[in-house]
């Protein structure tokens, strides 16, 4: 789950919602199963995202590697993703910056003992190998990788070689806990002076207003009491209404996130609505609004919010997943399957979307589609594949694949 090549960069971290299985009794369906799984919302954690230790923030950047005069040279780095976690490890902020496209074919993976992808083989529709990549990692003292090199496996002069084509960096910020304190004490590299504390990173789709230096005279005019006479001879400064609305929209959005994290979901909805009223062009705010409506079980409003997010940013897999989620819960299985399918196309490594698609296919009686999604989950997330078999014990997945049939 930790491979981050340009074509799979969205697999860095699991998205904020995952599907978990519950069982409710219903009539016999088209594939001979007497139960239907229900789905619920579960916040992603740093552990689920493959991180260890008191991680607060992860910033991911990637750069292409090109050969110049026989030497591997890194190109300019591009920001891929910024994710922030709470002190308890729950994910509280995530912004992705899509780059590049995807190759057409079936991807097969190998993993190391830590769960990091070490090799990817791409096959065409006939099963023939198209290409292969290998990945090498560097880790920090807490066990999280900080540098990954994507190597293209080539055959040259009668032997296999690895040619570096991309490098990915992760900047990890940790909360100051006991383990971090011990690590700091053991640090032997002396620093000349204490570095200033960096300003907190603000992740938001609403642009920050530009700051300009305001003359003292203007401040005096702005602070004069109502009805007072300005004797400076200068006209009063007129605030920029566009910048003001953007800033207020951003403030409402951040207030909504804080309320949501504190458990005040209704308050979060009110703040998000104020934000989109001032700045209706933010896909991220609509996405968070959809999540809040999901928590309140206001499915009709959630559908509208996710649809607005998708319209503003059609490449957002998370919004498509949310749309699939709420349609499934509303028993609109065809619409759910369509949204989940789009999510898997945008982010092939989004295991939860494959899982949701398998549930929708089961409801629609699409046995072949259900089996294909089960096969995908076996490679992406074996635990979700097991949940699928446990939810549908009468559906012999292995037997249908020609394995272990009586």
Chain CA centroid to CA 355, Å = 16
Backbone φ/ψ region at 297: left (φ over 0), alpha (ψ -120 to 50), beta: left
- Assess if residue 107 is contained within a domain: yes
- Which residue is it, tokens 């295991």? 351
CA distance 264 to 296: 11
Residue 22 DSSP SS3: strand
Supply 200's token pair. Answer: 């907190």
CB of 149 closer than 8 Å to CB of 160: no
Closest CA to 362 of 326, 401, 336: 336
CB of 81 closer than 8 Å to CB of 96: yes
Closest CA to 135 of 166, 113, 106: 166
pLDDT for position 245: 77
Residues of the chain with pLDDT under 50: 1-42, 101-102, 188-232, 234-235, 237-238, 403-404, 406
pLDDT for position 318: 92
pLDDT for position 400: 57
pLDDT for position 12: 31
pLDDT for position 389: 84
pLDDT for position 36: 39
Burial tier of 38 (Cβ tally within 10 Å: 0-12, 13-18, 19+): middle
Number of domains in the chain: 2
Question: What is the pTM assigned to this prediction?
Answer: 0.46
CA distance 12 to 57: 13
Burial tier of 171 (Cβ tally within 10 Å: 0-12, 13-18, 19+): exposed
- Assess if residue 220 is contained within a domain: no
Same domain, 162 and 15: yes
- Assess if residue 200 is contained within a domain: no
Same domain, 266 and 143: no
pLDDT for position 10: 35
Same domain, 391 and 256: yes
Supply 113's token pair. Answer: 């003992």
Same domain, 247 and 159: no
Same domain, 17 and 161: yes
- Assess if residue 226 is contained within a domain: no
pLDDT for position 210: 37
CA distance 285 to 199: 23
pLDDT for position 90: 80
Same domain, 278 and 156: no
Tell me the C-alpha to C-alpha distance, in Å, between residue 155 and each of 68, 106, 132, 160. 20, 21, 11, 5
Closest CA to 326 of 363, 287, 296, 300: 300
Residue 64 DSSP SS3: strand
- Give the containing element (helix H, strand E) for 145: strand 145-156
Burial tier of 95 (Cβ tally within 10 Å: 0-12, 13-18, 19+): middle
- Assess if residue 275 is contained within a domain: yes
Same domain, 247 and 339: yes
- Assess if residue 227 is contained within a domain: no
In three-state form (DSSP H/G/I as H, E/B as E, the rest C), the secondary structure along 71-110 is EEEECCCEEEEEEEECCCCEEEEEEECCCCCCCCCEEEEE
Domain at 326, CATH number: 1.25.40.10
- Assess if residue 383 is contained within a domain: yes
Backbone φ and ψ of 326, nearest 5° = -70, -35
CA distance 331 to 38: 10
pLDDT for position 146: 93
Backbone φ and ψ of 118, nearest 5° = -105, -20
Instruction: Write out the residue range of the structural domain in which residue 298 sits.
Output: 242-400
Among 144, 164, 180, the domain boundary falls at 180
pLDDT for position 32: 29
Same domain, 120 and 20: yes
Tell me the C-alpha to C-alpha distance, in Å, between residue 139 and each of 59, 89, 146, 274. 15, 20, 5, 43
Among 162, 180, 198, the domain boundary falls at 180
Tell me the C-alpha to C-alpha distance, in Å, between residue 387 and each of 112, 155, 178. 23, 41, 36
pLDDT for position 246: 80
8-state DSSP, 156 = E
- Assess if residue 190 is contained within a domain: no
CB neighbourhood size of 363 (10 A):
20
Same domain, 277 and 357: yes
Same domain, 276 and 160: no
CA distance 293 to 363: 24
Same domain, 255 and 166: no
Q: Which long-range contacts (CB under 8 A, 24 or more apart) does 386-390 make?
A: 387/20, 387/21, 387/355, 388/21, 388/355, 388/358, 390/21
CB neighbourhood size of 46 (10 A):
23
Same domain, 163 and 271: no
């Amino acid at each position: 789950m930790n491979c981050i090549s340009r074509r799979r960069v969205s697999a860095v971290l699991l998205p904020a919602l995952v599907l978990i299985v519950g069982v409710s009794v219903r009539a016999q369906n088209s594939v001979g199963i007497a139960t239907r799984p229900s789905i619920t919302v579960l916040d992603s954690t740093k552990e689920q995202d493959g991180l260890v230790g008191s991680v607060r923030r992860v910033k991911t950047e990637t750069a292409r590697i090109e050969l110049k005069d026989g030497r591997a040279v890194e190109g300019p780095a591009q920001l891929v993703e910024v994710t922030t976690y709470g002190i308890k490890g729950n994910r509280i902020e995530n912004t992705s910056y899509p780059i590049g496209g995807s190759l057409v074919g079936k991807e097969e993976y190998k993993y190391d003992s830590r769960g990091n992808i070490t090799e990817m083989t791409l096959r065409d529709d006939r099963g023939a190998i198209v290409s292969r990549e290998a990945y090498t990692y560097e880790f920090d003292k807490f066990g999280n990788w900080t540098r990954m090199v994507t190597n293209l496996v080539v055959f040259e002069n009668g032997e296999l070689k690895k040619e570096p084509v991309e490098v990915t960096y992760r900047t990890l910020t940790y909360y100051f806990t006991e383990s971090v304190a011990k690590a700091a004490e053991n640090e032997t590299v002396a620093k000349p002076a204490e570095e200033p504390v960096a300003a907190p990173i603000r992740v938001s789709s609403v642009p920050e207003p530009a700051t300009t230096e305001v003359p003292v005279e203007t401040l005096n005019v702005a602070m004069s009491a109502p009805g007072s006479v300005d004797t400076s001879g200068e006209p009063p400064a007129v605030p920029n209404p566009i910048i003001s609305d953007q800033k207020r929209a951003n403030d409402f959005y951040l207030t909504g996130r804080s309320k949501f994290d504190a458990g005040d979901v209704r308050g979060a909805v009110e703040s998000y609505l104020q934000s989109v009223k001032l700045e209706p062009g933010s896909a991220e705010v609509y996405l968070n609004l959809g999540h809040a409506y999901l928590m309140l079980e206001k499915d009709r409003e959630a559908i509208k919010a996710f649809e607005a997010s998708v319209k503003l940013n059609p490449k957002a897999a998370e919004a498509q997943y949310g749309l699939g989620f709420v349609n499934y819960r509303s028993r609109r299985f065809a619409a759910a399957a369509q949204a989940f399918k789009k999510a898997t196309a945008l982010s092939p490594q989004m295991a939860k979307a494959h899982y949701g698609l398998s549930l929708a296919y089961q409801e629609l009686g699409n046995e072949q589609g259900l089996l294909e999604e089960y096969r995908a989950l076996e490679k992406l997330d074996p635990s979700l594949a097991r949940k699928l078999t446990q939810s549908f014990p009468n559906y012999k997945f292995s037997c249908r694949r020609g394995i272990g049939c009586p």
